[in-house]
Amino acid sequence: MIQSVLRDRYLILSEIGRGGLSRVYLGKDKNGGGAVAVKVSEQSDEGALKAALNEAEILLRLDNPGVPGFVDYFEEDGRCFVVTECMPGSPVAAGSGLSSVYTGMQLLLILRYLHTLDRPVLHLDIKPGNVLLSPDGRVSLIDFGSSVRSGALSYIRSGTPGYCAPEQLLGKTLDERTDIYGWGMLMRYMLSGDEAGRLSAGGAVPGGLSGVSPEISGRLPEIIDRCTDRDPENRFVDVESLLCEMKKVCSSHEPFFAQGVWEYHSA
């Protein structure tokens, strides 16, 4: 696969990721489009084919700097290919409290965009590997293979244990609160450093977070606890209400947030 050229256009340079249903390669668009991400799935796997088609259809309708732009979809030699803009950055990691809060706030803006579309989109696979942080501090959300429209009664039952909500694993109807759970579990990881296998809803979030005032670190655990309640009825009703609460907590104590700098990075 490496160094092959697909459709006389996409030069495959290296493998940059893999999952249960697919592999992702870094490529170069020879038509002048720059770097691309090429996700390859086997057509013989019905689940992989559905995920690839679903991802292409959803990305085609999205237009936000925090999500990859759709480039191409095609089927060839028994495989299906989803080609997207290659987003800059590396997967988020556990860091100082302030940088983690900054990342989480930007991610909320991306989720607000997805959830307030005419046909809202649920991402459903929020985890460290799918949230990228660029060198200049911009956050991107990638991998829409598990995504669905809000309220979907049927979907590919997927997601990452330790991050996805209970209702998702049980095959129940999903809504914006399902992604809020994923956001909360991601925040637990970034603030505690615990990998998914050791994460659990209701797990401890350390106080006195490095680089964050006590006023903020004192409120974060209760916000995250609410996001990761096993019962969706007890979570924030939507991202806007969660974002308002985070702004309220942060802007009073950190000049960085009060000035709205984080919002500029997400524009």
pLDDT averaged over every residue in the chain: 84
pLDDT tens string 84-107: 999 999 999 987 677 888 899 999
Identical topology for domains 5-85 and 90-265: no
pLDDT tens string 102-126: 899 999 999 999 999 999 999 999 9
Class of domain 5-85: alpha beta
Q: What is the pTM of this model?
A: 0.89
Q: What is the DSSP string of the chain?
A: -TT-EETTTEEEEEEEEE-SSEEEEEEEETTTTEEEEEEEEETTSHHHHHHHHHHHHHHTT---TTSPPEEEEEEETTEEEEEEE---SEE-----HHHHHHHHHHHHHHHHHHHTSSS-EE----SGGGEEE-TTS-EEE---TT-EETT-S-------TTTS-HHHHTT----HHHHHHHHHHHHHHHHH---GGG--TT----SS-TTS-HHHHHHHHHHHHHHT-SSGGGS-SSHHHHHHHHHHHHHTT-HHHHTTHHHHHT-
Among the listed residues 29, 77, 118, 125, the single catalytic one is 125
Known catalytic membership, residue 125: yes
Architecture of domain 90-265: Orthogonal Bundle (1.10)
pLDDT over threshold 60, residue 56: yes
Domain ranges of the chain: 5-85, 90-265
pLDDT at 131: 97
